[in-house]
């Protein structure tokens, strides 16, 4: 049974898409990371933030469903059509919101971003509301010099700086890079576009270490080390680095 938000506050629900057919790392969503299934990192941080009326995991896989429930999430059994490697995340979200339309703000959380902590959700929601936004994206500020190479001539050119005036880090604000950790979308925007981002967009800047991605075993070992230092463990103690 769903709970109503306090009077005057929006009803915010979270959804973590987690299909069983991950390509790079088989069953990545429940692969142990420091002894916890990957999905548990996303669910625990979301629940401990206290901002969500409900936290759901959308999956087509029995083992993922079982781990999601153990973590405290509700489970939505997505269809085979929205669980293929070519199905968009938006298609899975449309399927979910059609079945569960009772929300004011929808939060899409990526299970592959285990470095999100509860405070990220609370601060991002505050920013979303302060901006009167329709959607919110998370990003990381990185001081990286970007280049392009012409595929015809092979000539290289700088994208975001002038090589003749190479800026010092302290004199340059850097680039904001979408890290894919989570997104907020107002119901009105979602119903009119079925897209996670649009309208008046807000941005929540996260710590640089949250840019890490989980696409290979090497990535996994790197992120495990970062989780030891920066991850959310709730009442549990921090383990030694893996």
**pLDDT > 50? residue 155:** yes
Residue 126, C-beta contacts closer than 8 angstroms, at least 6 positions apart: none
Look at strands 105-109 and 12-17 and give their pairing. Answer: parallel
| Cα–Cα distance, 132 to 191 (Å, whole number) | 18
- Catalytic-residue membership of 165: no
CA atoms within 13 A on the CB side of 55: 27
pTM to 2 decimals? 0.89
HSE, CB side, 13 Å, CA atoms: give it for residue 56. 25
Predicted local distance difference test score (pLDDT) of residue 238: 53
SS (H, E, C) 77-111: ECCCCCCCCCCCHHHHHHHHHHHCCCCCEEEEECC
Question: By the 8 A CB rule, do 56 and 99 touch?
Answer: no
pLDDT digits (tens, 9 = 90+) for 56-68: 999 989 999 999 9
**49 and 106 in contact (C-beta within 8 Å)?**
no
Positive or negative torsion for Cα 29, 30, 32, 34: positive
Tokens of 61: 């896989």
- In percent, the amount of the chain with pLDDT more than 70 equals 93
The structure tokens listed for 231 are 């991850």
Between the CA of residue 8 and those of 49, 119, 208, 223, what are the distances in Å? Answer: 19, 21, 34, 39
What is the arithmetic mean of pLDDT over 178-191? 97
pLDDT in tens, 163-176: 999 998 888 888 99
Domains, in order of start, for the chain: 12-140+177-230 (3.90.550.10)
- Give the 3-state secondary structure of residue 16: strand
Whether residue 4 is predicted with pLDDT greater than 80 in this model: the reply is no
Lowest mean pLDDT among 22-26, 157-161, 210-214: 22-26
* Catalytic residue of the set 77, 144, 148, 166: 166
């Amino acid at each position: 049974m769903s709970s109503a938000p306090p009077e005057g506050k929006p009803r915010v629900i979270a959804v973590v898409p987690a299909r069983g057919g991950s390509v790079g790392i088989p069953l990545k969503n429940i692969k142990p990371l420091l002894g916890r299934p990957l999905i548990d990192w996303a669910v625990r941080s979301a629940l401990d933030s206290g901002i969500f009326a409900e936290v759901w995991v959308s999956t087509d896989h029995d083992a993922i469903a079982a781990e999601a429930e153990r973590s405290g999430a509700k489970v939505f059994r997505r269809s085979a059509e929205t669980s293929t490697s070519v199905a968009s995340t938006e298609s899975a979200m449309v399927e979910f919101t059609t079945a569960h339309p009772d929300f004011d703000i929808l939060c899409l959380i990526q299970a592959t971003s285990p470095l999100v902590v509860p405070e990220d959700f609370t601060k991002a929601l505050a920013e979303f509301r302060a901006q009167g936004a329709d959607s919110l994206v998370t990003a990381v500020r990185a001081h990286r010099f970007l280049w392009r190479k012409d595929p015809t001539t092979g000539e290289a050119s700088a994208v975001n700086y002038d090589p003749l005036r190479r800026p010092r880090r302290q004199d340059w604000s850097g680039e904001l890079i979408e890290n894919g950790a989570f997104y907020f979308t107002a119901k009105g925007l979602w119903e009119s576009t079925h897209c996670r981002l649009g309208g008046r967009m807000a941005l929540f800047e996260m710590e640089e270490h949250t840019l890490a991605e989980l696409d290979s075993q090497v990535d996994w070992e790197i992120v495990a080390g970062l989780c030891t230092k920066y991850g959310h463990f709730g009442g549990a103690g921090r383990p030694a680095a893996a």
